[in-house]
Amino acid sequence: MGFGCNAAGVVGTRIIDSPREKLIAILTNSFVPCNGRFPFLITVATIFIGAHFASSFSSSLFSTLAVLAVVLFGILMTLFISKILSKTVLKGVPSSFMLELPPYRKPQIGKILVRSIFDRTLFVLGRAASIAIPAGVVIWIFANVTIGDTSLLTFVANFLDPFAKLMGLDGYILTAFILGLPANEIVLPIILMSYLQKGILVDLEDTHQIGQILLQNGWTMLTAINVMIFTLLHFPCSTTLITIKKEAGSWKWTAISFLLPTVCGIVLCMLTTSIWNLCQFLY
């Protein structure tokens, strides 16, 4: 379920009887990309991997394989981190699995619609709206309030830039991920807004135009690889974090769910950048 929405995936862990195994599932749910992250992954793969191939078929094929590789890596990371958690902080005896078939009854369409709409969809959307509105105000302030001739967004990006360079990124990219906490869908629009120095979010559909903007602002293949890694491995969106707090019942586990993928993403980006720079130095 996390591939559709990590918040819905967290809610789905209610079916797990073991509190320990439910917590492991909650903490690792965001290691797989949700619908909010897939468009960004596909765009970056199309621009920086697919563009190396002349035919449209080869371009689409290798872009797809790149995104598939990211998805498979996320699944492997989920299994790997789950194994570590089960052997350390959440060590315990694995519970047995027993499948019981309930008695078959005729579906009650009205009850299904009511429960799916009100108990699931509106539940998640309500939490998203409660975060999205104030977050939109914050983004507008960062983009439009200036000190001298420099926006707050640029000040923050310049402050984060040295650390971002260690990850093979830049300050604007890292700032976009932070401001994109309410929803992963707005990370790319914030990056474009920052590069173009606009006061509102920029939403372009032309992949070629997006690619030109990114290349003009110093993106390389290393940048693209690290962006894909960090898109996969970074803190869950705010809606997911609120849902984790409700399901886990603790701010401690909510903080761990925030830090766990983020630390993994930072370490892997730094490792990738170090290997890339070493290869550039040697060859």
Confidence (pLDDT) at 106: 78
Output the pTM of the full model: 0.85
From the centroid of its chain, how far is CA 75?
A: 14
pLDDT at 183 over 70: yes
CB atoms within 10 A of CB 271: 13
Residue 254 CB-density burial (10 A; 0-12 exposed, 13-18 middle, 19+ buried): buried
pLDDT at 259 over 90: yes
The count of structural domains within the chain is 1
Q: How far apart are CA 130 and CA 120, in angstroms?
A: 16
pLDDT tens digits, residue range 80-107?
999 999 888 887 756 655 666 777 777 7
Exposure string of 93-119, with b = 16+ CB inside 10 Å and e = fewer, is: eeeeeeeeeeeeeeeeeeeeeeeeeee
The residue-averaged pLDDT of 147-167 equals 91
The residue-averaged pLDDT of 139-159 equals 87
Q: How far apart are CA 139 and CA 13, in angstroms?
A: 32
Q: How far apart are CA 72 and CA 78, in angstroms?
A: 10
Report if residue 110 sits inside a domain. Answer: no
Tokens of 230: 């960090």
Report if residue 146 sits inside a domain. Answer: yes
Report if residue 191 sits inside a domain. Answer: yes
Q: How far apart are CA 228 and CA 66, in angstroms?
A: 10
Residue type, 55: S
Q: How far apart are CA 136 and CA 261, in angstroms?
A: 25
pLDDT tens digits, residue range 44-74?
999 999 888 878 888 899 999 999 999 999 9
Confidence (pLDDT) at 59: 87
Report if residue 263 sits inside a domain. Answer: yes
Q: Which domain holds residue 270?
A: 6-93+128-282
With the CA atoms of 135, 153, 241 and 228 taken in that order, what torsion angle do they form, in degrees rounded to the nearest 10?
130
Report if residue 18 sits inside a domain. Answer: yes
Share of the chain above pLDDT 70, in %: 90
- Structural contact between residues 41 and 29, judged by C-beta atoms closer than 8 angstroms: no
Distances (CA, A) of 139 to 92, 97, 127, 135, 240: 43, 46, 19, 6, 20
Report if residue 58 sits inside a domain. Answer: yes
